[in-house]
Structure 1
Amino acid sequence: MTDTTMTPTPIPALARTLKRRHVTMITLGGVIGAGLFVGSSAAIATIGPAVVISYALAGAIVLVVMRVIAALALALPHAGTFTEYARAGLGRWAGFTAGWLYWYFWAIVIGIEAIAGAGIVALWVDLPVWLIGTVLTLLMAGSNLLSARSFGEFEFWFSTIKVVAIALFIIICSVFLFGSPASSGVANLTNDGGLAPMGWGAVIAGVTTVIFALVGAEIVTVAAAEAEDSAELVAKMASTLILRISIFYIGAISLIVCIVPWRSIVAGQSPFAAALDVIGVPGTALMMNLLVLVAVLSCLNSSIYVASRALFTLAANGDAPRWSVAVDGRGVPARSIIACTLVGLACVFASVLSPSLVFAFLVNASGATMLFVYSLVVIAAIRLGVGGGFLSWGRFVAVAAMAGVLAAMALTPELAPQFWASLGFLGLVLLAAAITRKQI
């Protein structure tokens, strides 16, 4: 039979040094990254103005997942990292699988963000990208090794900069759109081929690409373990997620497609800079490079933190080497942080030594892992009977929607490599779970 109870496991105490302001800004900044500032350009160029609907649909899926996580946090307040909800509802194999998939995703992000940040810094500093990436990674690892409070302080200011920047962007664009004689109003929404020039099928298929820009809100469930009132914080996070998605993603993207003709947006180039260029704001290229660098450093900082706590939780449950569960005198899992940093640096070096083989596989194998993790957690909630009200049926809709996104990835040529590599890695983790099966 499947064990659906949480078995208490002695875990070394992490220092609870994160204040409410830290956790709040970590939550706000969790979904604001380079995927919004730059990555959204590819979605707009592929879908057209109706990309806003793609973001809304993806946001609805993530919203339901976060509400399920909040319900689980209240039902299982001492479970730890949210991947442990899978263990509670489906058994040890699910906790092992969700935990390692989650760790892998964020460990690979360390390398990806270090390379992205190095590429920006290399515009101003004449040094090899791998060297800059190594320095950036070590700096963020240092902030994590000092204390959870140090991580929180860095992330507080990083997230504050991102939130203020987006708020100013929305204000500037709104004033121009509705108050400037040079504005064409909302005509760009339908001027060139209509709202959905590529067809409504492209709008639905677009969910498969934009949903990955929205992952990260669950970071608060990890940070909450080192702050007070963790269950309460998670519940508040979930209740405000839809507001953040609406303002930061749907609001900003809506303004962009109103101000900039969608066919003039180039994939890989910031659509935020394009909108500010139309308005006539000087120095947009420099401003966007600085803002994207902040977003990248924020994600690099967070990825080291989250990956190390995921490894710590796995070790605490006997699913990772026991040495990684140790904490130092400041209550920091230093060994886990160092291990995850080394994995991130290995990815940086792989991007130089074998960009089209090793590094490409590492990145592709992380492509769909978050959907696998979210699915396991939601299925666990169904198994445990957690979630009333709209969640009683919303849980099933979310699982079906995520299955649909995965199927669409498999059928989309440019996304298929990510799906199959991620599926292969899932198979390896499931095999490892079976080989290391034990009673807990």
Structure 2
Amino acid sequence: MQEQNQLQKGLKKRHMTMIAIAGVIGAGLFMGSGSVIHLAGPGAILSYVFAGMIVVLVMRMLGEMASVNPTSGSFAHYAHEAIGPWAGFMIGWLYWFFWVIAIALEATAAAAIIQYWYDGIPLWFLSLLLTVALTATNILSVKAFGEFEYWFSLIKVVSIIVFLAMGAFIILGIVPNFEAVGTTNLIGQGGFMPNGFGAVLMGIVIVIFSFMGTEIVAIAAGESKEPHAAVRKATNSITWRILLFYIGSIAVVVTLLPWDSSNILTSPYVAVLDYIGIPAAAQIMNFVVLTAVLSCLNSALYATSRMVFSLAQKGEAPKSFLKLNKRGAPVNAILAATFFSYIAVIMNYVSPDKVFLFLVNSCSAITLILYLIISISQLRMRRKIEQKNPQLLTIKMWLFPYLTYFTILVTSALLIAMFFIDSMRSQILFTCVIVIFVLLAYLFTQRKANVIEEENSSIFNNENLDIK
């Protein structure tokens, strides 16, 4: 091992391009969209449109800040600079916590999918095997992470495009033996919003969590050879990516099939492939979902390690996390994320309905808190940059500051709304517990740092007295 100060810039342009394109396609699209459709009916399209709009605005703000200062700490670094050290500490550790739990979730989900083919292998062993394998990939080098993510992402993108093309051909009546569907399923099963607009709003809160991962391209920019170009491309393309992959595919599902079909709740994509008559539809979708889950697991390991590395650079995490191997990978930061994920996997095995459920629910509102902090950071940082060096703004937030204020208002409203939705009240309360814990940790570490600083100052003064 070799101590270095900087992460290696090993991500190539094609890696960044594919991470940017497919970062928005997570397991939530394939596995979680059925529950949103079942809740809001065809109005789920609006849930995805509204949630997608928030994500587009947040990514534009993040892109503006990342184009000025691409760094592996990304939004935690910007919050530290724009709002204060407490904000950077809080959002950095909340983000780390979110992905550590996500690693355990994704590893368990991937293991369950593999058990579909090999049901004799224990779930815990498969989870362990997958986590170890992708940990080794991340430790090897950032280039290895980029290469794996490139191929995972390519499979996801191709699968969605093929799915959209087949669905569109059938909807338009181009495929033989299929009549044009029309609007029967969109408005003929209780209307476009069969459960009212309130269900659509609830759907937004659920959907917005499935977009977590779009921000990883801003984190990865710190290890890209062309960070400014990568951030610009990702920021400019986020709108069509969400329109195409999420809203497009959900529109295909609710147009082809009745929204209250039990098959949609189980697996909307398998249900559509079965409807089209694709042989072995479940087998094909299991492979695609497995790829998406492994991609999320790979990205989660990357995101947690880079975030804690950035926190360590600012003295907000142990300095041991700054240690890099010969290929420039933060090995201790990666192993720490893996270690806590193993604990989470054990909790899932021992107490899935208590301890692990608490951990999962504690993550639920972190996405909204993240978006709120990014918005406030951009609001303050933009004004500082305009005063000092406005030519650095190669990417600008649209209609500043009005859309920034709009995003702050909407994300705050969604957080408050969670307190009044019965099914989400426990989740926001659990998240509040974690936020309070993190802020107390900040106060403790800050006090400890101040004590050490005072002791060092006192020693220095005594030495000066002795010299005199």
Taking structure 2 as the reference length, the TM-score comes to: 0.89
Shift of the alpha carbon at 1:205? 2.2
Structure 1 residues 105-148: Cα deviation after superposition (integer angstroms, max 9, x where no partner): 11111000000001111122211111110001001101101100
Match of 1:410 in 2: 419
Q: Which moved more, 1:380-389 or 1:417-426?
A: 380-389
- Greater radius of gyration (CA): 2
Shift of the alpha carbon at 1:256? 0.8
Match of 2:431 in 1: 422
Answer whether contact 1:45 1:267 (CA < 8 A) is retained. yes
1: CA distance, partners of 2:304 / 2:265: 27
Amino acid at match of 1:429: V
2: CA distance, partners of 1:388 / 1:274: 40
Is 1:301 equivalent to 2:272 in the alignment?
Answer: no
Residue 263 of structure 1: SS of its match in structure 2?
coil
User: Over aligned residue pairs, what C-alpha RMSD do you find?
Assistant: 1.7
Structure 1 residues 321-376: Cα deviation after superposition (integer angstroms, max 9, x where no partner): 11011111111101111111111111111100111221111111111112212211
Residue 385 of structure 1: SS of its match in structure 2?
helix
1: CA distance, partners of 2:397 / 2:148: 37
Q: Which moved more, 1:156-165 or 1:184-193?
A: 184-193
Is 1:54 equivalent to 2:51 in the alignment?
Answer: no
Match of 1:436 in 2: 445
Shift of the alpha carbon at 1:236? 1.9
2: CA distance, partners of 1:281 / 1:199: 34
Amino acid at match of 1:425: I
Is 1:233 equivalent to 2:230 in the alignment?
Answer: yes
Within a 5 Å distance, the mapping from 1:201-212 to structure 2 comes to 201-212=198-209
Answer whether contact 1:68 1:378 (CA < 8 A) is retained. yes
2: CA distance, partners of 1:117 / 1:95: 32
Percent same amino acid at aligned positions? 39
Q: Which moved more, 1:244-253 or 1:116-125?
A: 116-125
Residue 212 of structure 2: SS of its match in structure 1?
coil
Match of 1:121 in 2: 114
Match of 1:349 in 2: 346
Is 1:325 equivalent to 2:322 in the alignment?
Answer: yes
Is 1:130 equivalent to 2:157 in the alignment?
Answer: no
Q: Which moved more, 1:312-321 or 1:404-413?
A: 404-413
Structure 1 residues 71-120: Cα deviation after superposition (integer angstroms, max 9, x where no partner): 11233345842221101101111111111011111111100000000111
Shift of the alpha carbon at 1:239? 1.2
Residue in structure 1 matching 2:83, options 83, 90, 99: 90
Structure 1 residues 208-243: Cα deviation after superposition (integer angstroms, max 9, x where no partner): 111111121110011111112323322221111010
Match of 1:3 in 2: none
Is 1:379 equivalent to 2:372 in the alignment?
Answer: no
Q: Which moved more, 1:72-81 or 1:422-431?
A: 72-81
Match of 1:339 in 2: 336
Match of 2:33 in 1: 40
1: CA distance, partners of 2:265 / 2:97: 25
1: CA distance, partners of 2:31 / 2:397: 38
Shift of the alpha carbon at 1:398? 0.7
Within a 5 Å distance, the mapping from 1:213-228 to structure 2 comes to 213-228=210-225
Structure 1 residues 18-52: Cα deviation after superposition (integer angstroms, max 9, x where no partner): 10110111122212122111210000011000110
Answer whether contact 1:81 1:221 (CA < 8 A) is retained. yes
Match of 1:196 in 2: 193
Taking structure 1 as the reference length, the TM-score comes to: 0.95
Match of 2:23 in 1: 30
Match of 1:366 in 2: 363
Q: Which runs of 5+ in 2 are unaligned?
A: 384-395, 454-468
2: CA distance, partners of 1:72 / 1:225: 12
Amino acid at match of 2:300: S
The alpha-carbon distance between structure 1 residues 206 and 426, as it changes in their structure 2 partners (threshold 3 A), is same
2: CA distance, partners of 1:78 / 1:15: 12
1: CA distance, partners of 2:435 / 2:263: 34
Is 1:141 equivalent to 2:135 in the alignment?
Answer: yes
